[in-house]
Amino acid sequence: MTKAAVLLADGFEEIEAITIVDVLRRGGVGVDMLATNGRDEVTGDHGIVVRADARLGTTDPYDAIILPGGHPGAVALRDNDAVIAALQEMDAAGGLVAAMCAAPIALGRAGVLAGRTYTCYPGYEDQIDNGEFAEDVVVVDGRLVTSRGPGTALAFAYALLDALGKDAATLRQRMLYTLVAGGSAPE
């Protein structure tokens, strides 16, 4: 089974984190929400407390590592050496590395954006000194997938399924995303 780790720090953006986990599990990806705060529960940017599946560093390797944004969640991810090491290891192993909203700042610190194109929440590109910034809703550059904010979380999650070789088109229909974004969503 394809396995993905979604890293949660206190202050994670709830819509982003939960949308990623929900969609990937619907699509047949085994997802672990990994706490990076050394505890078993993580508190989101808007006070929603979620139970993590495990703590970062206690599980087997994954096929993908995915970072939701949020304040101060994305800063906590960027400043966590274990998170940076996990990103670098995933990238070196050729796995999927992904982040959205403010969280690409962690990818920047990890150095995995060099020579690649990425996107992020407007303005955070000023805190990233490697990689080429683009304004698309979702940017896929090889095994790097990035996106912009809560409103783009579903588009990001479907792009992650595509990148992991799963069927996103059926879910886009079943989840009624096509009613809102249409078949012409700017992905």
Site residues, a second copy (CB under 8 A): 13-15, 18-19, 21-23, 25-26, 33, 41, 44, 46-51, 121-122, 137, 148-152, 154-155, 172, 174-181, 185-186
**By C-beta, is 75 or 175 nearer to a second copy?**
175
Which residue of the set 56, 101, 110, 157 is catalytic? 101
**By C-beta, is 22 or 132 nearer to a second copy?**
22
**By C-beta, is 15 or 84 nearer to a second copy?**
15
Rounded least distance, CB 23 to a second copy, Å: 8
Rounded least distance, CB 47 to a second copy, Å: 7
101 is catalytic: yes
Rounded least distance, CB 105 to a second copy, Å: 17
Q: What is the 3-state secondary structure (H, E, C) of the chain?
A: CCEEEEEECCCECHHHHHHHHHHHHHCCCEEEEEECCCCCEEEECCCCEEECCEECCCCCCCCEEEECCCCCHHHHHHCCHHHHHHHHHHHHCCCEEEEECCCHHHHHHHCCCCCCEECCCCCHHHHCCCCEECCCCEEEECCEEEECCHHHHHHHHHHHHHHCCCCCHHHHHHCCHHHHHCCCCCC
As annotated, the active-site residues are 101
